[in-house]
A = this chain, B = another copy of it.
Amino acid sequence: LLRRIEQVSGLKEKIVPDGLRLGIGDDAALFAGRRGYETILTCDWFLEGLHFLRDKHPPDAVGWKCLARAVSDVAAMAGTPRYFLLSLALPSTRTGYWLNEFLRGLRRASNCFGCILAGGDTTRHQKTLVSVTVVGEVKAGRAVLREGAEPGDVIFVSGRLGEAELGLRILRRLRYQAGKRNPLLRKHLYPQPRMALGRWLGKSKLASAMMDLSDGLSMDLSRLCAASGVGARLEAESIPTVRRSGSKENEGLQLALHGGDDYELLFTVPRNKVKWLSRSFRGTPLTAIGEITRERILLLQDVDGRIRPLADRGWDPFHEARKP
């Protein structure tokens, strides 16, 4: 089947360049790391019923998103994706149209992110299971970790938050498979990892800590703070939310705080460096939403100035029964 994946997808054509000596077809892939670079390694599940719904997610969006999610982890370390391994388990009934569409989306993502299929493992299963491993690289010393945030640092996010979660809610209400071109669903179906921004934040050495937002701002910020041994205070007013006509008051803020799948970057900048950071990067807004504090709790300052603790209510498969 992996051979067919090469053929159907044309992914193999792209294997020759760079340091990759050997792609699909041997026991393993083989590549030479570049001198002066470190290798980044990450993997991500993408499971039917948990991360996508068989009847509602277009298969090409499944192909795009399974790679985009893992690439986003590389972007969040200021790295560049290079190769990926695809572990795919499918029912026999899915090896026709569904697989072709899946591979079309995957190929588009592979081209767009410059991330080449280097191997994988395929097997049969009642449900569609995907696990993607991405290998990236970053110049030695340039990786931005979660652990560098210091009290006083300003907290930034890229883009607008909550849009993907809103798209998911709309998609769940659909009776049929989602249309690929629905602009309200675009960010949920075809997320764009912030690769160029991540690299620039690493190169410019402006960010003291960074991660990508996959499980919701409240959950992910608490992880960044835990890694750095600090706390944070957010200003509700500053958080870039989605506005919908006729939406309940506060809905946008709740989506932005606790909605998952944004794949925006969350990063901290020392106060004396904030002046070097412009308020947008290649059209993507960069917004200051609060600051890092010494006390290890998360606080949210409401629009009326009241400060209250912020619970981390993002996506955790073992604590919530939430599904896509």
Query: Using a CB–CB distance below 8 Å, which chain A residues touch chain B?
Result: 1, 21-22, 25-33, 35, 38-45, 47, 49-50, 73-74, 76-77, 79, 83, 85, 87, 89, 92, 95, 118-125, 129, 131, 133-136, 138, 140, 143, 145-147, 211-212, 227, 317-318
Tell me whether chain A's interface is mostly helix, strand or loop, or mixed: strand
CB within 8 Å for A27 and B138 given contacts A87-B131, A318-B1:
no
Q: CA of A76 to CA of B30 in the docked complex: distance in angstroms?
A: 12
Q: CA of A136 to CA of B95 in the docked complex: distance in angstroms?
A: 31
CB within 8 Å for A145 and B22 given contacts A47-B123, A50-B123, A73-B28:
yes
Chain B residue numbers with a CB within 8 Å of A89 are 45, 47, 50
CB within 8 Å for A28 and B227 given contacts A85-B43, A131-B87, A317-B123:
no
Task: Select one of B50, B76, B120, B129 contacting A43, CB under 8 A.
Answer: B120
Chain B residue numbers with a CB within 8 Å of A147 are 26
Contact B39 A30, beta carbon cutoff 8 Å: yes
Pairs A-B, 5 closest by C-beta atoms: A33-B33, A28-B42, A124-B317, A131-B131, A27-B73
Chain B residue numbers with a CB within 8 Å of A29 are 40-42
Q: CA of A152 to CA of B212 in the docked complex: distance in angstroms?
A: 55
User: From A48, which residue of chain B is reached at the shortest CB distance?
Assistant: B125
Q: CA of A138 to CA of B38 in the docked complex: distance in angstroms?
A: 17
Contact B43 A131, beta carbon cutoff 8 Å: yes
Contact A27 B212, beta carbon cutoff 8 Å: yes
Task: Select one of B31, B74, B211 contacting A38, CB under 8 A.
Answer: B31
Q: CA of A306 to CA of B159 in the docked complex: distance in angstroms?
A: 72
Contact B38 A32, beta carbon cutoff 8 Å: yes
Selected A-B contacts with CB under 8 Å, 18 pairs: A21-B143, A22-B145, A27-B211, A28-B73, A28-B134, A29-B40, A30-B40, A30-B143, A31-B38, A32-B39, A41-B83, A41-B85, A41-B118, A43-B121, A45-B121, A47-B89, A47-B129, A92-B318
Q: CA of A211 to CA of B143 in the docked complex: distance in angstroms?
A: 36
CB distance from A103 to the nearest CB of B (A): 16
Q: CA of A133 to CA of B135 in the docked complex: distance in angstroms?
A: 11
From A29, A134, A138, name the one whose CB has the most chain B CB atoms within 10 angstroms: A29
Contact A26 B227, beta carbon cutoff 8 Å: yes
Q: CA of A85 to CA of B27 in the docked complex: distance in angstroms?
A: 17
Chain B residue numbers with a CB within 8 Å of A40 are 28-30
Contact A87 B121, beta carbon cutoff 8 Å: no
Q: CA of A225 to CA of B268 in the docked complex: distance in angstroms?
A: 55
